[in-house]
């Protein structure tokens, strides 16, 4: 038996060597599997700016999709970075309220359709650097999910803001069913069951999981093999380690190199990223420009108020038209105005009509 050991060891080493050199299953789906795959990174939120409804909305990615179709990469890596203004490890506290987003549900649905359907012929993975709030529902719209070691999948219970202030119990129940159903629609796109989504949105629900090989069975009770959430006062949230242990995410990676290794690649073409020609630049430029335009719009509205108080209606109209134009150019500007309790585009249009009437009644004022 001993004399066969060296031979067995050599055979085993050969098997591992072949496995190491074998292309990733994703690579085998390329038109030319022998070619190192060209990767294209699309950030969903970037460099600490990941507000839902503004930094993350349909208009941020329309130009990206056109660019992808022109450059024809072999693999798309979506990078989720949206903390909902939460800068600390604790779920409560450490909030930057100005960065707390809201879900524009119709816009988000169209955005997912654009990214998943229009680019559906190209293999895609979701890599979560952080996700707190409504962005978690978006992250779970992808079945191939990876996380960084410090990433969170938290905060889907914010959906309760859509219905919990309703005083009528029956109406609240209907709203709850409707809104949680809408959010669970995003999870269904990723192949995740409603039991998981509901436990992440509704604190009174429990969550456990069982395994059948690599297949997971999520349950809204405590009868699974592993109890995930047995607290009826809190929702289920996941850090990276827990998500990996439970099989919710496919692995933990803290760099593109780590991620590609987990995906089974041993070589790849990252020239688009190195030459600043992937989605990072496009999304980064969008975030910079809409935020700059938003800051200007606040200044313009201040000019409008100042000129109205001085009965300078022509100057007030000019300032308010600049606010309107900012909102039309970047829907993110209007959305941020509305989530902060400021006038929306329709309100600004009404104010312009009022100014027109005021100008008529005081024609001598400038």
pLDDT of 333-364, one tens digit each? 999 999 999 999 999 999 999 998 887 776 55
- Report the alpha-carbon distance of residue 147 to residue 158 in Å, rounded: 21
| DSSP line for 121-139 | TS-EEEEEEEEESTHHHHH
Q: What is the pLDDT of residue 359?
A: 78
pLDDT in tens, 228-248: 999 999 999 999 999 999 999
Top pLDDT among 94 and 14 is at 94
pLDDT at 4 over 70: no
pLDDT digits (tens, 9 = 90+) for 267-304: 999 999 999 999 999 999 999 999 999 999 999 999 99
pLDDT number for residue 302: 97
- Rounded to a whole number of angstroms, the distance between the first and last alpha carbons of the chain is 103
**DSSP classification of residue 95:** B
What's the rounded Cα separation, in Å, for the pair 353 and 255? 53
Name the band, by pLDDT with cuts 50, 70 and 90, for residue 167.
confident
Tell me which architecture the domain covering 21-276 has in CATH. Answer: Alpha-Beta Complex (3.90)
Confidence at residue 5, expressed as pLDDT on a 0 to 100 scale: 42
Q: Where along the chain do its domains lie?
A: 21-276, 286-361
Question: What is the residue-averaged pLDDT of the chain?
Answer: 89
User: Is the predicted pLDDT of residue 305 greater than 90, yes or no?
Assistant: yes
> What pLDDT, on a 0 to 100 scale, did the predictor assign at position 100?
85
- Sign for the CA dihedral angle at 57, 58, 62, 65 comes to positive
Residue 130 has pLDDT above 60, yes or no: yes
Strands 124-132 and 145-147: parallel
Q: Which two tokens stand for residue 106?
A: 């119709």
Share of the chain above pLDDT 90, in %: 77
Question: Quick one: DSSP state of residue 55?
Answer: T
Longest dimension (CA), the chain: 108
Q: Is the pLDDT assigned to residue 215 strictly greater than 90?
A: no
Q: Does residue 65 have a pLDDT over 90?
A: yes
């Amino acid at each position: 038996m001993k004399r066969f050991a060296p031979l067995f060891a050599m055979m085993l080493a050969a098997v591992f060597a072949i496995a190491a050199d074998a292309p990733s299953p994703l690579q085998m789906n390329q038109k030319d599997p022998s070619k190192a795959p060209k990767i294209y990174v699309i950030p969903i939120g970037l460099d600490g700016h990941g507000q839902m409804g503004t930094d993350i909305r349909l208009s941020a990615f329309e130009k990206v999709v056109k660019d992808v179709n022109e450059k024809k990469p072999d693999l798309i890596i979506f990078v989720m970075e949206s903390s909902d203004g939460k800068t600390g490890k604790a779920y409560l506290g450490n909030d930057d309220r100005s960065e707390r987003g809201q879900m524009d549900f119709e816009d988000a649905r169209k955005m997912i359709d654009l990214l998943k359907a229009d680019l559906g012929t190209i293999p895609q993975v979701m890599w979560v650097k952080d996700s707190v709030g409504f962005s978690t529902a978006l992250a779970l719209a992808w079945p191939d999910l990876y996380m960084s070691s410090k990433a969170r999948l938290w905060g889907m219970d914010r959906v309760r803001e859509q219905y919990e202030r309703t005083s009528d119990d029956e109406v609240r129940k209907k709203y709850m069913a409707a809104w949680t159903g809408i959010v669970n629609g995003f999870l269904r796109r990723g192949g995740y069951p409603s039991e998981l989504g509901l436990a992440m949105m509704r604190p009174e629900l429990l969550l456990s999981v069982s395994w059948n090989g690599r297949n997971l069975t999520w349950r809204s009770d405590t009868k699974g093999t592993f109890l995930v959430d047995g607290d009826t006062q809190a929702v289920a949230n996941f850090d990276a380690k827990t998500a990996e242990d439970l099989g919710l995410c496919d692995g933990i990676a803290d760099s593109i190199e780590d991620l590609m290794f987990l995906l089974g690649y041993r070589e790849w073409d990252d020239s688009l990223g190195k030459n600043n020609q992937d989605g990072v630049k496009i999304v980064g430029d969008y975030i910079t420009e809409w935020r700059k335009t938003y800051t200007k719009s606040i200044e313009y509205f201040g000019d409008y108020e100042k000129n109205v108080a001085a009965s300078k209606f022509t100057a007030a109209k000019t300032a308010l038209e600049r606010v309107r134009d900012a909102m039309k150019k970047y829907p993110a500007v209007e959305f941020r105005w509305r989530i902060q309790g400021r006038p929306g585009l329709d309100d600004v249009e009404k104010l312009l009509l009022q100014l027109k009437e005021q100008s008529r009644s005081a024609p001598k004022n400038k």
